[in-house]
Amino acid sequence: ETGVTQTPRHLVMGMTNKKSLKCEQHLGHNAMYWYKQSAKKPLELMFVYNFKEQTENNSVPSRFSPECPNSSHLFLHLHTLQPEDSALYLCASSQDPLADTQYFGPGTRLTVL
Amino acid sequence: KQEVTQIPAALSVPEGENLVLNCSFTDSAIYNLQWFRQDPGKGLTSLLLIQSSQREQTSGRLNASLDKSSGRSTLYIAASQPGDSATYLCAVQNQAGTALIFGKGTTLSVSS
């Protein structure tokens, strides 16, 4: 078991629903990340937070809204998603932003109907 | 724009074989290169991180090499075991503070 946990592990939602993904790291790290892994595509970085401040938004649509209340918790709020948003959403953390080994959670498998 | 390619996309070997996974990248001006392992339905586990000034890193039966000038890295797995079955991902970081660029991965299957 890694030091990064994600809930829920699986989520099915309709296009009009609003849901949130949660990530928690128990490693004392300062940086947290959201990644998207779609079938047949490379892993893509979505957001980076360093000391609770968003430092990178990789041109992610506004229907994905991140929130980082403290260095240990990261949320991804979802609303009016599209079927093509179905993917594995991975959270990661590291001591320093991006220039350090990242530790990943198990991911949330999201299906948008 | 940096692109990372991993060959082969899939590989099946019998237990005990030594094997090599390949990773190539188009822009040689990288900060570091990392190899990750991903088990089905799970997150990524970092295996090895090679800084741009280094040529290789070793951890147990794993050895990763980096040839920055030619834009290539290899992951060597010695004496493969069924437990090594997973998808192996290569990622490069162009400079400190920028995103990791991932390849699509090589899915390895080791049969007993």
pLDDT tens digits, B41-63? 788 999 999 999 999 999 999 99
pLDDT per position as a tens digit, A67-84: 999 999 999 999 999 999
Residues B104, A48: C-beta atoms closer than 8 Å: no
Q: Where are the beta strands (DSSP E) in chain A?
A: 4-7, 10-13, 18-25, 31-37, 44-50, 53-57, 64-70, 73-79, 87-94, 103-104, 108-112
A92, pLDDT greater than 90 = yes
And the tokens for A78?
């979802």
* pLDDT in the model for residue A101: 83
* pLDDT in the model for residue A2: 57
Q: What is the mean pLDDT of residues A12-40?
A: 93
A1, pLDDT greater than 60 = no
Q: Which residues of chain B have pLDDT under 70?
A: 96-97
Rounded Cα–Cα distance for residues B57 and B83 (Å): 21
CB of A87 within 8 Å of a chain B CB? The answer is no
| DSSP per-residue letters across B41-72 | TS-EEEEEEEETT-SEEEETTEEEEEETTTTE
CB of A95 within 8 Å of a chain B CB? The answer is no
* pLDDT in the model for residue A51: 83
Pairing of strands B106-111, B10-14: parallel
